[in-house]
Chain A
Amino acid sequence: MAKIVAGVGTSHVPAIGAALDNGKTEEPYWKRVFSGYEESKRWIEKIKPDVCIVVFNDHATAFSVDVVPTFALGCADEFIPADEGWGPRPVPVVKGHSALAAHIAQSVILDEFDLTVVNKMEVDHGLTVPLSLMFGQPEEWPCKIIPLAVNVVLFPPPTGHRCFALGEAIRKAVESYPEDLKVVIFGTGGMSHQISGQRAGLINSKFDKAFLDNLTANPEKLTKMKHVEYMREAGAEGVEMVMWLVMRGALNTNVEEVYRFYTVPASNTAVGNIILENRPESRARATAKKPTRAKKVAAVRAKAAPAKKKVAKKAAAKKKVAARKARR
């Protein structure tokens, strides 16, 4: 059986990719960013996932304004790094896992998520920068990648609640895949940033830190946050953070935050990275099932007096009939 073992949240700032590709990693400005990912690189090397599902957004690369799918799953065998106007990034071709992707697509569609299946898609910095941050600069990416593109460019993006629910459906799909595969899911984008308009450059570290805290311990709260709050508090493009909720929805309620890194800035953006490992749910479930004293009492009372209720109902019905007759 395939299994999701952990989730990674990370920003996907294009300038990070450019800095890496142009050999600027030792410059103090960029070293501050890259050194924060050293621990994450060691972690993923140890975990050795077979497949990574990477939730990202396309930035007007594969999808123009001709077609804007809300959720689009990459089901191809490979995805070519795109030319975004500065020439393509010199990174390996992204190899997909088309069999697992097709399985996930079918499963989540039957779970009522009207997903778009994509069999050809060039991938931009939204997908390749997280891979570079987590895997460095290898000849080949060390595992298969399933890209899940979420629209956050054309307002409105899907709600955080919907993203979380899709994560849950993806988990169910992965767990019903017969082959033994170790899967890690990435939520990418964010953190606070605005790159458009006179308010460009907005950063809200307090918001970002609270988001990371809640992502681990209280994701329910985040699923209720409205888009306008993300935009007002974390910048117009900060709304990208809903994508981290797909990742969180695919994990256990019980997770352990094994790593966190946060720095400002990279270009226009606050950079965040978090690693959440699944932990057994058993104890949490046991407490959830335990009924409260009030519920126990109510249950006993209901058992003791079911006849009375029926009698009362019958009497009420008789009264109604009598009233109707009286009106006639």
Chain B
Amino acid sequence: MKATKAKKKEYDDIPGTIVFDADQSRMGYGINMFCMSLLKEENRKAFKADEEKYLDQYKLTPEQREAILKRQWIRMLELGGNIYFTSKLGATDGLSFQQVAAKMTGSTQQEYADMMLAGGRPVKGNRRKSEWEHK
């Protein structure tokens, strides 16, 4: 649980959205710095060669480690990751931003791409958490 989050925030009410604020950043330092290291080609190779061993260099909780190894894209954000960092893990796997986004919404790449071509996800019905409760 996020015991650190005491204060209610005005953006908590936006559905399907994890805002990367200072609290999330504090929690996710290890995830994000690991992802940052993947900007270097030699690090991408080393990570791919032995993921477990590579992750030993970073201070990660067991949950964070599992989320990275299992490519749980939403979980990584919940545990303090930021999309611009985790997308570098996506790039290491050969995934584009759109492919990572499709995975987070639980749809296939094709379904997601079709939704975007049809004008994207509408804002109507997607503004507040209460609008998602009856889905």
Contacts and interface: CB of A to CB of B under 8 A. Distances in A.
Contact of A228 (B11, B25, B77): B11
Contacts of B10: 228
Interface string B28-50: 11001101101111001000000
B121 A199 contact: yes
Which bracket fits the contact residues of B? 35 or more
Interface stretch (A111-119, A209-217, A230-238, A288-296): A230-238
Interface centre among B25, B92, B98 (most CB of A within 10 A): B98
Contacts of B33: 64-66
Which bracket fits the contact residues of A? 35 or more
B20 A153 contact: yes
B101 A201 contact: yes
Contact of B120 (A154, A233, A270): A270
Contact of A197 (B16, B21, B22, B84): B16
Contact of B14 (A199, A267, A268): A199
Contacts of B64: none
Interface in B61-116: 74, 77, 82-85, 87-88, 90-92, 96-98, 100-102, 104-106, 112, 115-116
Given A202-B120, A267-B97, A154 B44 contact: no
Contacts of A227: 11
Interface centre among A85, A156, A204, A264 (most CB of B within 10 A): A85
Contact of A201 (B32, B90, B92, B105): B105
Contacts of A232: 11, 14, 127-128
A265 to B, nearest CB: 4
A153 B83 CA distance: 9
Minimum-distance CB pairs A-B, first 5:
A203-B120, A85-B91, A199-B16, A198-B16, A196-B83
